[in-house]
Structure 1
Amino acid sequence: MLIDIYQGRNPPPTVAPFTIVIDVIRAFTVAHFAFLQGANRIFLAESVEQALKMKRDNPALVLAGEVAGLPIEGFDLENSPTKLQNQDLIGETLVLKTTNGVRATLNCLSSNHVFVTGFSNAKRTALYVKERIAEEKLDAVNVIASHPSGDDDLACAEYIKSIIDGSNSISTEEVINRIKQSHVADKFFNVENPIFKQEDIFYCTKELDGSFIMKVKKNKRIPMIERVNV
């Protein structure tokens, strides 16, 4: 089986039937926890302007995201799993705009099946894709570590690859340590920078035994993430 890992948010040089896009800190950890808090679906916005227009057209939408890691004026939620813990999102539709994860996903829509995940749902996602590959007798998967230089996403990509190919060559403990030690996580441990919460890294490194995966639905004008129970 050919499992290619690519790093960055640009379109990968090859197209595979299955693609898994990773954003550990923090977009797809946020998406995972939003579904756990009851969200119904999550649209992927190309730009802040598109997200705000969607909100004007449908005020019931909940906007979440960041630009350069920072909160966006006019958005309802930050790109923070910590901030989601007290949010009642039952039945809500979110619109997510982020720098890396969302952009990388939108650049992978030529793949037949696109899934997104952080570390929190990585094992469940990898096992699901492994099962689907065997059922459909396919032999290629792209795993996208969406941060252009972050070892957090790269460690998670290697973890997912090791589950799919059966090598189990990297432990959960090693992945967690690499996420915490990545340069992307540094600002969350800087007490002089209160914008970034250390608690976010706790949630980004918390592996959950999830009962669902997050799949991108492409047959809409604006792609969306849906919760698929498994």
Structure 2
Amino acid sequence: MPITIYQGHHHSLAPADINIVIDVIRAFTVAHYAFIGGAKEILLVGTAEEAFALKDTYPDYVLTGEEKGVGISGFDLDNSPKRMAMQDMADKRLIQKTTNGVTAALGALNAKHLFVTGFSNAKTTAEYVKTLAVKDCVLNIVASHPSGDDDMACAEYIKGIIEGTNAVTAAGVIERIKRSSVAEKFFDRSQPLFDPEDISYCTKELTGDFVMKVKQEREVPTIERVII
């Protein structure tokens, strides 16, 4: 079973059986914590304008995301997993717009199954996908940051679990995330908009009973919490 890893958020992938899109720092870590907090679903949009238009239609939906790494004026929440973990998300529906993860997911819709994850839910996702993968299926993993080793480390970790080689350890992924160029600004005191505690959330592997699957039949692609 061939598994191809792509890096970057700009790909429009050819038809596949399974696509997995990764955004460790921070979109799909945020999504994971939203579902842990009880969120019902997360709508994925490519622009802030689309997000605001949906908010006009569904005023109770929660806008979350970023542009160029920082929160968007008029959004309810930014892209911080720490702050998401502190919210009461019970039965809430969210609208998410981010630079890398969401954009990459929207470019990976041409698949029978599309999953999204950060490192926090990577092992659970990989083990579930392993049960779906058959000999000749086409499986792609997208490390959504164009150059960051955080997403690439997680992609290699997931690939190793699915293939049964376990070539990359969880500890190794954590170290690479912390040392990645993407994480640097979170430890830079001259950039107070980036909270170093977010990296703690992004590097915490959690045991869970659900995966995040994108439902593609709807007009707006939507992440759903699928119990496994």
| TM-score interval (norm. to shorter) | over 0.9
Alpha-carbon distance, 1:139 to partner: 2.8
Output the amino acid matched with 2:5. I
CA distance in 1, matches of 2:13, 2:66: 27
1:169 corresponds in structure 2 to: 167
Output the amino acid matched with 2:168. I
Residue correspondences, number: 228
2:50 corresponds in structure 1 to: 50
Alpha-carbon distance, 1:131 to partner: 0.3
Within 5 Å, give how 1:40-119 maps onto structure 2.
40-119=40-119
1:209 corresponds in structure 2 to: 207
1:9 corresponds in structure 2 to: 9
Alpha-carbon distance, 1:53 to partner: 0.9
CA distance in 2, matches of 1:6, 1:124: 21
Alpha-carbon distance, 1:181 to partner: 0.3
1:157 corresponds in structure 2 to: 155
Q: Does 1:192 align with 2:190?
A: yes
User: Alignment partner for residue 142 of structure 1, among 140, 143, 146?
Assistant: 140
The superposition leaves residues 50-79 of structure 1 with CA deviations (integer Å, 9 ceiling, x where unpaired) of: 001111111101000000101100000110
Larger CA deviation: 79-88 vs 117-126: 79-88
CA contact (8 A) 2:177 2:203 kept: yes
Secondary structure of residue in 1 paired with 2:75: coil
CA contact (8 A) 2:13 2:110 kept: no
CA distance in 2, matches of 1:65, 1:47: 10
Give unmatched runs, 5+ long, in structure 2: none
CA distance in 1, matches of 2:36, 2:16: 29
Secondary structure of residue in 1 paired with 2:176: helix
Larger CA deviation: 181-190 vs 82-91: 82-91
CA contact (8 A) 1:145 1:153 kept: yes
CA distance in 1, matches of 2:37, 2:13: 36
Secondary structure of residue in 1 paired with 2:183: helix
1:34 corresponds in structure 2 to: 34
Cα RMSD of the aligned pairs, angstroms, is: 1.0
Secondary structure of residue in 2 paired with 1:70: coil
Runs of 4+ in 1 over 4 A off after TM superposition: none
CA distance in 2, matches of 1:58, 1:139: 38
Q: Percent identity?
A: 55
Output the amino acid matched with 2:95. V
Output the amino acid matched with 1:71. G
Output the amino acid matched with 2:123. K
The superposition leaves residues 23-53 of structure 1 with CA deviations (integer Å, 9 ceiling, x where unpaired) of: 0000000000000011000000111000011
TM-score normalised by length of structure 2: 0.98
TM-score normalised by length of structure 1: 0.97
1:19 corresponds in structure 2 to: 19
CA contact (8 A) 2:13 2:107 kept: no
Give unmatched runs, 5+ long, in structure 1: none
